[in-house]
Copies of this chain bind each other. A is one copy, B any other.
């Protein structure tokens, strides 16, 4: 399975621009499973609830999800992407998973970072697992990485690949991802944005990590690029460290 990420610098509250950018970049890609950053369609640095309102959409049946489904059908790929969601007058920092057959599922960020708490509700959907053909995947969003319980919950439920849209302002995770992958024996696709917005500097360095904690590919801090690599998701089903230790039987 060819998995990849697109690292770019979204324009704040310019959804037209951001969606067009994605469409241009993805066109003709042979990536089978692509991860876009957190809030890829809206940018990050919301200053008011009105700004959030102006960008948030329903998932499914919102403009951005429909747009992603169209690309997924056209390019015959699966896409995970972060976007602000509205539901019953509440707002969530969410990610969506779509594929060639349409909408598959969504995740709502549990661990809100910093001023996100001013505008967004804590995720209330748990850590759901989705199937991409015969591969089990789960989503996390950015700061969720800091809490080992989050990826552990996904891995214990069978996730082989962690699809992880981020807007990282700290740069711990680009090192710590190796530990998260290793302790759970999963693949991680970390799709970060780069650039500056408001008071925030985003740290790029998107990467794909294997179940041994090895960084397979990664990007620089300030570069726009789409990268992908062939992986064997079945490797994530093997939790054995040696003939005596199985990391999940030993917990």
A: which residues have CB within 8 A of B?
Answer: 111-115, 117, 143, 146-149, 152, 172, 175-176, 178-179, 182-183, 213, 242, 244-245, 247, 250-251
Contacts and interface: CB of A to CB of B under 8 A. Distances in A.
Contacts of A247: 146-147
B245 A147 contact: no
A248 to B, nearest CB: 10
Given A176-B179, A182-B172, A250-B111, A117 B147 contact: no
Given A172-B213, A179-B176, A182-B172, A149 B115 contact: no
B242 A114 contact: yes
A179 B176 CA distance: 6
A182 B146 CA distance: 9
A113 B152 CA distance: 20
Contacts of A114: 242, 244-245
27 contacts: A111-B250, A112-B244, A112-B250, A113-B245, A114-B242, A115-B244, A143-B245, A146-B182, A146-B183, A146-B247, A147-B183, A147-B247, A147-B250, A147-B251, A148-B148, A148-B152, A148-B183, A149-B152, A149-B251, A172-B179, A172-B213, A175-B175, A175-B179, A176-B178, A176-B179, A176-B182, A179-B179
Contacts of A111: 250
A51 to B, nearest CB: 18
- With a 10 A CB-CB cut-off, give which of A178, A179, A213, A244 has the most chain B CB atoms: A179
A210 to B, nearest CB: 14
A230 B116 CA distance: 37
A89 B178 CA distance: 40
A117 B147 CA distance: 30
Nearest to A177: B179
Nearest to A184: B148
